[in-house]
Amino acid sequence: MNFRDLLVPLYERHLLMQFTHIPAHIAIIQDGNRRFAKEMGIDTAKGHRAGADKTEEMLDWAHDLGIRYITIYSFSTENFNRAEDEVQDLFRLFREKFIRIISDERVHRYRIRIQMVGDRSLLPGDLRSAIETAEEATKNYDGFTLNVALAYGGRNEIVLAAREIVAAVREGKIAPSAIDVQMVESHLHEGKDIPPVDLIIRTGNEYRTSNFLPWLANGHESAVYFCAPYWPLFRKIDLLRAIRIYDQRMRAKAH
């Protein structure tokens, strides 16, 4: 163990002492897996796998800090434009991880509820089946919730909700005059009860939110934290720095 390794726990404790507000819902844009792989001289699939392993590590941090909801941006609708081999590798990785959830001791110990958000009709059948099995196995857990955004696009999410509402109006189930903010929210994310986003984190030194949860994040003026590390290199220190930004915003609002 070198001197730097000894300092890390001390700095984590220092950061913890700097804030009192913990966000209930953090949304993470996990950027940089491919660039990490390139710099490390490994293939892209291994970069994505390193990112998936980091997501699992995040579950421990979230539990320690008392975070109740995490939404991770794993695969956007735009990602379908990537090379077919890469897309299929990602789908295999997602399927493997969802299957592992059933036997993951951490999931059951922390009572983590797993949910997918996005257009599942765009996903292959074996992946949809693995997702549904994981959702069913954890549907009664209330420790905290991990939302996995797959085949997700913020504008597409609103379009899907609009289609449901229009269909209900045509069937006479909803009066046009009854459409309000609460009704739209009830049709977002397949009716899942997902609270507003308090904090968005984006890794990989990119400074944009990429159409991620526009209704729950932009509509509620979430705090945003951009950081340089690629997602596989994201540390608990980076998470604590992000929460410090959220805490500063909450303190400012209180005055």
Residues with a known catalytic role: 31, 79
- What residues contact 234, with CB distance under 8 A and at least 6 apart? 54, 58, 203, 227
61/240 Cα distance (integer angstroms): 10
Give me the sign of the Cα torsion angle 185, 190, 194, 197.
Answer: negative
68/192 Cα distance (integer angstroms): 15
E strand map for 24-137: 25-29, 69-76, 112-117
Residue 123 identity (one-letter amino acid): L
E strand map for the chain: 25-29, 69-76, 112-117, 144-152, 199-202, 223-226
